[in-house]
Amino acid sequence: MAKRANGSGRSPNGRPNDTRDRLFRQQTIRRPTAISGVGIHTGRETNLRILPAPPGAGICFRRTDAGNVEVPADLKSVSSLELATTLGRDDVTVSTVEHLLAAVYILGIDNLVVEMDGPEVPILDGSAMPYLLLLQAAGVRPQNASRQILAITSVIEIDRGDKWLRASPYPGLRLDYTIDFEGCAVGRQRLQIDVDTRSFERGLAPARTFCRQMDVEQMQRAGLGLGGSVDNCIVFDEQGAVNTDLRFADEPVRHKALDAVGDFTLLGAPIWGHFEVLRGGHQLHYELLRELVANPRYWTWMRGDELPPPADRPLEADRPPTWLPGFAAPAT
């Protein structure tokens, strides 16, 4: 990306440049918005009210049913990573934040308050698409504050034997994600994608959460998955999806990549790098982010006007969903 010729944040023809605004300036939503739904693990109905926040505020969850305790969306707040990302403060938690945070990340939103009257962010249809559409309808506006991007400068790897995650320098956010689920039709799937607003909307946001049929009863005995249904979760047996049609042939790995984008939001800044993941999940994502924060030698802060241009076109994974009921397909 060429450096700005002036400080206006405008393109050469004098029109506002949304891409530059997302790189150079912090952003929030233009107007409050709201949505309600059940939590996939608690089964409880929760009402969300999403509000603009001032520059530098970051993303914060506010539990209106628990004394208005505020839980920042950052790495220090992580309290559990079992089947979802849970944040906590003063014994107050907010769980399953990753789908909402993924939509926040891809729209370049830095500052936001999420009021909620329950412990779990609604699962809605199991994907990030409802949250993406909700925030797009609320509008995104730049703020009078600069932002920086965390750019990976050297290779860093988290190796846990049969699972690992490697990050290396790259001018953008690229995911090379592989999953491997035995005992069901998911099997081994690999996704390679350059993540930007367009590829996220078309190739990641619609992908829904999933589980193996053999795990359903075990989860419910543990008090999890109590809000799961045919409307918000794909269940796989050895032959295939047992309760719904797929939106993509490789929907499970796309959902895992979506989760990664949501977890990356906990860093508190956009991140540029090439992330190769084998059998990843919330725990592995968190361990990498924690290692990055502890070791600045692997990265540097960069302003938007200092970054090289991202790849011109996403990889082949940027293709429209085959099935998306209830939502308008993005323009091609």
Catalytic residue among 41, 99, 274, 282: 282
Closest CA to 83 of 268, 212, 275, 230: 212
Asked if 277 contacts 177 with a C-beta cutoff of 8 angstroms, the reply is yes
User: Could you tell me which residues are beta bridge partners of residue 71?
Assistant: 61
Closest CA to 75 of 64, 89, 63: 89
Closest CA to 163 of 284, 291, 286: 284
Catalytic residue status for 285:
no
DSSP state of 117: S
Residues 6 or more apart whose CB falls under 8 angstroms from that of 242 comprise: 213, 235, 236
Give the CA diameter of the chain.
61
Distance CA 208, CA 247 (A): 8
> Any idea which residue has 């809605």 for tokens?
124
Exposure of 258 in the CB half-sphere (CA atoms within 13 A): 32
Residues 6 or more apart whose CB falls under 8 angstroms from that of 63 comprise: 69, 70, 71, 92, 94, 116, 117, 119
Report residue 220 as tokens: 């419910």
* Helix, coil or strand: residue 84: coil
Q: Could you give the residue numbers annotated as active site? A: 282
